[in-house]
Amino acid sequence: MHLDRASNLLGIVVEQAEPGYAVASMRVREDMTNGFDITHGGLVFTLADTAFALACNEDERITVAAGADIAFLKSTVAGQTLTATAVRRALSGRNGLYDVSVVDETGDQVAEFRGRSITTNRSL
């Protein structure tokens, strides 16, 4: 995670990371909001994608996203803290399937993300 410049720029904090499971959080800043003064959806996606990456990179082999989808369920604003929890649902060979729930500080559901991973032949 120390090499992830984008996540570090956004202030994403790793709360927990282990094979197949990760929790990451991010406090929404004013510069993370869109023209409607709500959190930019791309940044909610980025938080979920970071938790997904943490959960699926469990050894020296590099695992990347093969695809992902997100459903936005509730808007948030600057000052709120979002937490993304990623859980592996399936792993078959080099392919994985992960669900990521994003909630606000009250536990309300903000988004649901489903990521598909592929483990490459490259290593760190």
Q: What is the pLDDT of residues 19-58, one digit of tens each?
A: 999 999 999 999 999 999 999 999 999 999 999 999 999 8
- Which pLDDT score is estimated for 117? 98
Work out the end-to-end distance of the chain between its first and last CA atoms, rounded to an integer number of angstroms: 12
Class of 5-123 in CATH: alpha beta
Coil, helix or strand at residue 111: strand
Residue 2 has pLDDT above 80, yes or no: no
Q: What is the pTM of this model?
A: 0.96
Beta strands in the chain (DSSP E): 13-18, 21-27, 61-72, 81-92, 95-103, 109-123
Between CA 114 and CA 66 the distance in angstroms is 11
Looking up tokens 């483990």 gives 119
Q: Do residues 12 and 49 touch, judged by C-beta distance below 8 A?
A: no
